[in-house]
A and B are shown apart, each in its own frame.
Chain A
């Protein structure tokens, strides 16, 4: 039997992230190496690190890679690159220099590697950034991604700890990717649904970022492996606020609900729920499949933008990106997110 990219993979995309609960315990055990040039310090839990260059600019640095969730090597390269580049856009920055990070098995045709790299390169070129080298090791499970360096002026930096009570939240991509990709892996997914998901995953957050630049953004993050609820709760915790989401306003990819009902949920969805459900209050009438979708790991997901209400409404109207919730002052109990 011919081996394909995904035949060698157990968990894929951003669903392959180590469970946050396990990772957190390890990170907490390490010595803190703080540096005044590091914005937010060593313990900042943002999308990329930001380092002061001394001339008003910040260097943004991030690395992201994962195993493929489908067999087309070129599109996989595009998705992995768009996902890695997104962290710089989520900080308000512009990617400048990238390096490839590759794990590739000897049993796959070397042409697949070429296509993965070409796919990645196409997205980096679309950003106006460059790829200069990288590192490739032989590994039974293929993986690909980028280390990305970008820049942003310090006064234009978007952090995930500055959402303000009264803000509205805008989301720039639909959710449900992890479920659709699990159904695809089980050969249970309809192409008409998965093709829309692939197109969304290869779409750079560059365009959403450029569209919102004329408006003031208080806080931002991108929605990836820890799900809409996971990344929203990180923003709420870091900002010292609570977030109220409107389930009916949240854009969900077509087909996702049907596949969640049939049990095509990635394992990461349950890790996400285990990690954050105690900080989340869901409306009692919320359907089980929507409950699942809210914890679904996303890959190359959209930007979650917290903006002053008037600006958010104007931006949403101009761009078509939906307003999915609002930010309120914190409440006494531990709830970070409420979904109505």
Chain B
């Protein structure tokens, strides 16, 4: 499952991530293009009990979330 939040300002990236994690998916990839979105989505995912792996991309970061 991929969630593209590029171009969105806070709190929209967290809202979009929450919608997906609320369906209890095992794994999701979130694309972000601001530090605020990277940090906030990481915080949300950890609070929702997902592990977070951050990878740099050409225009931001890709966050790999896995259910703990």
Contact = CB atoms under 8 A, between A and B. Distances in A.
Interface of A: 10-11, 182-183, 185-186, 188, 260-267, 269-270, 274, 288
Interface residues of B, number: 17
A251 B17 CA distance: 31
A269 B36 CA distance: 8
27 contacts: A11-B9, A182-B10, A185-B11, A186-B11, A186-B14, A188-B11, A188-B18, A260-B43, A262-B14, A262-B47, A263-B11, A263-B14, A263-B39, A263-B40, A263-B44, A263-B45, A263-B47, A264-B11, A264-B14, A265-B10, A265-B40, A267-B9, A267-B10, A267-B34, A267-B36, A270-B36, A270-B39
B48 to A, nearest CB: 8
Contacts of B47: 261-263
Contacts, number: 50
Tell me the dominant secondary structure on chain B's binding face: helix
Contacts of A185: 11
Contact of B40 (A10, A264, A274): A264
Nearest to B35: A270
A230 B51 CA distance: 32
B17 to A, nearest CB: 8
Contact of B15 (A11, A186, A269, A274): A186
Contacts of B40: 263-265
Contacts of A182: 10-11
